[in-house]
Amino acid sequence: MFGLFVRFTCKDEAAAAAFDDLVARTGEQIRANEPGTVIYAVHRVAGHPLQRVFYELYRDNSAFEEHESKDYVRTFLAERDKYLAATEVDRLDFVSGKGVEAEH
């Protein structure tokens, strides 16, 4: 398994609303077209209305590469910066958990 933890900070409330719309449209496509994407969860951060965190878990690196190659993901990557003040990305190597199994 391979994952990402991403923190986005939007520029202002209008940008946050537009970003949320972009995220919703992209998420619909991910759910419909990516069996190798195990988890793609987006959260607002309590007490920080301009922040969003993504937790993404992929079956393996190939599933992540397939995700990144999709037109709707490329559109998301191209459009997101106009709404954002900051982006922080952590790449994750799965150790253990509930609801998902590590590949052996």
Could you tell me the pLDDT band of residue 96, with boundaries at 50, 70 and 90? Answer: confident
Q: Which residue has the tokens 């209008």?
A: 14
Handedness of CA 74, 46, 98, 7 (dihedral sign): positive
Q: How confident is the model at residue 17, as a pLDDT?
A: 98
Q: What residue spans define the domains of the chain? A: 2-93
Range of weakest confidence among 2-6, 41-45, 80-84, 96-100: 96-100
What percent of the chain clears pLDDT 90, i.e. is strictly above it?
Answer: 87
User: What is the average pLDDT score of the chain?
Assistant: 95
Distance of CA 25 to the CA centre of its chain: 12
The pLDDT tens digits for 40-54 are: 999 999 999 999 999
Residue 20: closest CA among 47, 56, 51, 48: 51
The arrangement of secondary structure in 2-93, i.e. its CATH architecture, is 2-Layer Sandwich (3.30)
